[in-house]
Structure 1
Amino acid sequence: MEFLSSTYLYHRIIKNPSYYGVDLGELSEHQLNDDLAINTVVIKFLSTFIDQCVQLLIDNYCIRAIDETDRSPEKYAKDDCLVNQVLLPTPLGKIASYYYLSYKTIRLFQDRLCPSDYETAGKPQFTYYKTSEILDLLTMATEYVALPVRHNEELLNAQLAKICPFKMERRSMDSPHTKANLLLQAHCSRSPFPIVDYYTDLKTVLDQVLRIFQAMIDISALNGSLPTTINIINLQQSIIQASWQNSNQLLLLLETDHKSTTSEFIDDDLNDASEYYQSRQHQMDAAIADVRQLPKEICSLPVLLNFLQQNSYSNKRNDPKLFKAFTDLFAEYSIHHAILSRLFKSLTQLPLINVEKITIHKIVDEDADSEQWLPQEISKENTFISRRDVEWLQVQPSSDYCICCHLNRMSFSSNQNSKGQRAYCPSFPKPKSESWYLILGCEEESELIAITRLPCIQPYSTQVNLRFRTPDIESSKRIFFTLYLLSDCYIGLDQQYNIPLQVN
């Protein structure tokens, strides 16, 4: 209340209380001319308004209220207000504040992404969300409620829905959430839009999609769901690169102009929209048909990046010897020289992250014998062999451990020493920096154990630590953990390593 009394809102309510819904019916005609009486009613109105807002945030998991007697200095910060009830932000409230999202969006994500109440053997049961369900949840965010749906656009949306991979049955075509869903599907499919206004609307949707994705990832990780978190990151990659995960990886590097002009479509009958879309798609496919016929083993981005790194001597993009080696790789295929030049230019802008070493060590007190808990190195070869032949790492139950990953970035980028690496995403409307996720999870139980976000991986060796706690078990047990290194914007550059643990 002390804060509100110094704001412009408070003075506006004093001058025009009826405009803000302040009920002055209890005041007599004499009191209506008394500023003190009006101030009393306004303060009562604001107190009720504050109580309603606080209760609303509590009901939507954003804050929690505790009694002053329940507040311990070890658990809470010292600068919290000491009143009868202390309001403290929850992790979900911090996520909403950090990404500037509505409390309704946070409530929606938490209700859908949290594990079910039913538990088996003391473990929560997670719901597996497919890509279509995650996209539907993303576009149901409150931030998209203001997306304009103009006159007769519900007819265009219905036509656009016919060529989208995820069907939108039983959905209102005049809903802004449905339109946002269709725009993102067409964006990832690189399908042309019926009118130019849709490109403006798509930019509006993409301008907000990153912070909504970040909130979804944080909430899913907070609830400990491994497959859902990975699927959300994969969908984010698809939207940033304007391509689905199962698309030809080399086609991602070819900037195809798939925009249609208004005059091409405006004179066509609306019923022929599907045929128009298909004809435009055939024209796009014909331009890069040779690339589509390449075998899968040569279309792998990590394989091509490794090839360029091994044949590079100057570590420069415009190395003519490197380009000749690249063209010789495709000599037996009838690929046009201009297409190869575009592929080479795009490949030299992609990063290749090298996982140099992975170690695990126990976190012990300073007075403990450190020589007893020396780090154990995890061999890369050990992560890809069968469980029967794997070398198990010995750990203790109910103990804190740390996995240390030594990473370095190998690329031909000219700004390798900069603090932020600009991501190669020509189909995304705004500049974006590269970032990576390092995730430790257990696939057998679909549980996410630890996650950290890396803003940028530098060319020199960077150490990243993931802390976790081994399960509390009485007998010996073997656990298979998996370490994931996922990009937030590149498709096909993800890595994973198995970490076999013997808990004794």
Structure 2
Amino acid sequence: MFVGREYSCFAEDGTKPTLIFVSSRIFGCSKRQTRLTALDIVAFMSADPDEDPHQFCKMEPHELEYATRRVTDQSLKHTLEFGIGIHHAGLPERDRKVVEELFVEAKIMVLISTSTLAWGVNFPAHLVIIKGTEYYDGQLKRYVDFPITDVLQMMGRAGRPQFDSEARAVIMVHEPKKNFYRRFIYEPFPVESSLHEQLTDHLNAEIVAKTIRTREEAIDYVTWTYFFRRLTANPAYYDQQAALLETPDFEKQKDMLANYIERLMNKCLDELIRSGCIELREAQVSPGGVASAAVEPTKLGRITSLYYLSHRTVAQFQRTLAREGLGFVEIMRVLCECPEYDELPVRHNEDKLNAEFAEHCPLEVDLAIQAYDSPHTKAFLLLQAHMWGIALPINDYKTDLKSVLDRSIPLIQAMVDIAAEEAQLRSTLNLILLLQCLHQAHQPWRTSLATLPHLSEKSLKVLRDYSVDSLPELIERRDANKLLTKLSLPSAEAHKELLQIVQDMPRLRMRVELRVLDPEDESKPPEDEEEGKDGKPKRRKGKLVAAPYKVPPDSELELTVILCYDNEPMKFVHAPRFPKKKTYSWWCILGDTEVDELVSIKKALMPTRQRFEKRISFQFCSPADEIGETFTLSVLCMSDSFFGLDQQLDLSITTVEPHGD
């Protein structure tokens, strides 16, 4: 609707750079806008017989050919021929760098970008065009305005130091809002704080960091923020009651502000208490003689702060994971329903696209609690497409999937911590399994061999004929190279790549040691404990127990899990379809599979060196019941990234009469 006017703004002069901003994908519009706008401008130039359609291209033919060879996006290849570049988050990084380089060097005169470029990179231009000031909000199901700060930032790209004595910024806006933007541009506009809208999570982080220990310290902390400065200058903006009770009396104003701050603090702290993130202890008397309730973080509060999550998200996870063990699909649904995905963009008419997309996904959408225009439903469909290898309907979904995957990792790690606190073994195992599947773009019910590249169904059948049904069976074979030559691989390069991956896969070895710890000397004060070389408390002495494990009842036991690699494995996980390159680690879990109880869980970060030993210790007590009771504990070592390389040891422990040495 704007392209004709847009083209007329800069068609008179193709010698100065022009930057066009369209709706950013963060605000719910799609990268399609950059592509469609560029193609429409090309069409306008081609349709005008008096205009040179290549007037914005300042490259020689050989330069243009080299530039188009360097990019992979087909739309970008086409528009570069006309001197028009496109820039959005869904563009490959290499393509973005090429476009940025060409625009900075004035090889192309027009760059069409999403509004996020105004914040990320400084690319000034002589002319800036803001193509509309609204974006479609999938949650509200209507168009809403850009934040004023974004419009200012985009306008600020107009003007090149040392090149321009003047610059132009054109804002294309709906007619009824024209006076508002004119007033906003030419008159001073105060910058207000939004801290009060996110204060709950902010306070939780400060409580975890011990910056805030009491309710009074929380109030004092807020008085040192910019929010408090703006509150005193413009109280009506933050407190509707202040707007109704405006008074010139300074003391009354002071009382109103104090009342508002107290109400705000009570609201935020009450929310954290309801979410289980903090606890209030008994009132303590300060040196000034004032009693103040102590504020202390809980385990949930620490998890919220550690993974940068909303307190609402962690509370929702805790309520769900407190139930009996959840299955894999249930875990997926819980993940996608969390508040962290509220801002996932659902664009105009994408509800219809999601409904069609859902027909190709194996897991059904529960329409009783989900809708196709919900960002949570979209996240659920995107994760299915990633794990089952389903083609995405449009290119915009690729960038959406990347943002969903980026956020899913800390979310799942937080859920693992919460499930461990609830002693839920099955839920914890399924969470780690989901983490593996997301890294490997793999479904949990398929063979782990399918995570390797270049293996067709025919190749998998050949491997099965040689009794190789899983990834560990392949990487442990000494004749892996000979076996891979029997497969129908596409090329010699494919064989070489596959062999290298198989050889570099971590071959983890796990063994355990069980000790009966000596009783602690209760007469010795805790502060008198001996310290080891690293400053930590010296390891308690105990008697090593050999298999079959027989221990006295009601005794303190220490189980040490010893991990090492039998090779020098890859430093980064092989996950070609995961958007980021990452290292990997292992979870060691001690649990009782019969009663679905998780005893303890620890994460092990191991250097990729052969024969380096990592020791993880768990302490627990044997049952105090009758002699001769046998109980079984399982030790599981699970990767956070590789699918199919998990290991499990079952320990059968029997209580016997203690006897002297």
TM-score range relative to shorter protein: 0.7 to 0.9
Inter-partner Cα distance in structure 2 for 1:212 and 1:23: 38
Q: CA deviation at 1:43?
A: 1.6
- Is 2:517 the partner of 1:363? yes
Tell me the SS of whatever aligns to 1:375.
Answer: strand
Matched with 1:180 is 379
Q: Compare relative contact order (CA 8 Å, sep 6+) and give the higher one, 1 or 2.
A: 1
Matched with 1:15 is 233
TM-score, normalised via structure 1 length = 0.77
Choose from 500, 507, 516 the match for 1:345. Answer: 500
> CA 1:51 to 1:485, structure 2 compared with 1: closer, same or farther past 3 Å?
same
Contact preservation (8 Å) 2:518, 2:541: no
Gaps of 5+ in 2: 1-218, 523-538, 657-661
Q: CA deviation at 1:66?
A: 1.6
Matched with 1:437 is 587
Inter-partner Cα distance in structure 2 for 1:205 and 1:344: 32
- Is 2:620 the partner of 1:468? yes
Q: Deviations over 1:425-476 (max 9, x none)?
A: 1111112221101011111111001110112255312222122222332443
One-letter amino acid matched to 1:358: V
Matched with 1:99 is 307
Contact preservation (8 Å) 1:409, 1:457: no
One-letter amino acid matched to 1:152: N
Contact preservation (8 Å) 2:420, 2:428: yes
Q: CA deviation at 1:86?
A: 1.0
Inter-partner Cα distance in structure 2 for 1:337 and 1:26: 77
Contact preservation (8 Å) 1:250, 1:291: no
Choose from 324, 343, 348 the match for 1:151. Answer: 348
One-letter amino acid matched to 2:649: Y
Map residues 214-293 of structure 1 onto 2, 5 A cutoff: 214-254=413-453, 288-293=456-461
Q: Deviations over 1:115-145 (max 9, x none)?
A: 4xxxxxxxxxxx2311111000001111100
Q: Deviations over 1:32-67 (max 9, x none)?
A: xx3x43232112101111011111111111111121
Matched with 1:262 is none
Choose from 485, 490, 499 the match for 2:642. Answer: 490
Matched with 2:554 is 398
* Pairwise CA RMSD: 2.5
> CA 1:102 to 1:60, structure 2 compared with 1: closer, same or farther past 3 Å?
same
Q: CA deviation at 1:27?
A: 4.6
Q: CA deviation at 1:203?
A: 0.6
Tell me the SS of whatever aligns to 2:362.
Answer: coil
Q: CA deviation at 1:292?
A: 3.4
Contact preservation (8 Å) 1:164, 1:186: yes
> CA 1:468 to 1:2, structure 2 compared with 1: closer, same or farther past 3 Å?
same
Q: Which moved more, 1:342-351 or 1:231-240?
A: 342-351
Choose from 343, 366, 374 the match for 2:543. Answer: 374
One-letter amino acid matched to 2:359: K
- Is 2:431 the partner of 1:213? no
Inter-partner Cα distance in structure 2 for 1:464 and 1:371: 15
- Is 2:567 the partner of 1:411? yes
Q: CA deviation at 1:253?
A: 1.7
Matched with 2:151 is none
Contact preservation (8 Å) 2:335, 2:412: yes
Choose from 362, 366, 386 the match for 1:169. Answer: 366
TM-score, normalised via structure 2 length = 0.59
- Is 2:653 the partner of 1:501? yes
> CA 1:16 to 1:376, structure 2 compared with 1: closer, same or farther past 3 Å?
same
Inter-partner Cα distance in structure 2 for 1:495 and 1:484: 6
> CA 1:55 to 1:502, structure 2 compared with 1: closer, same or farther past 3 Å?
same
- Is 2:279 the partner of 1:110? no
Q: Which moved more, 1:156-165 or 1:477-486?
A: 156-165
Greater gyration radius: 2
Contact preservation (8 Å) 1:61, 1:92: yes
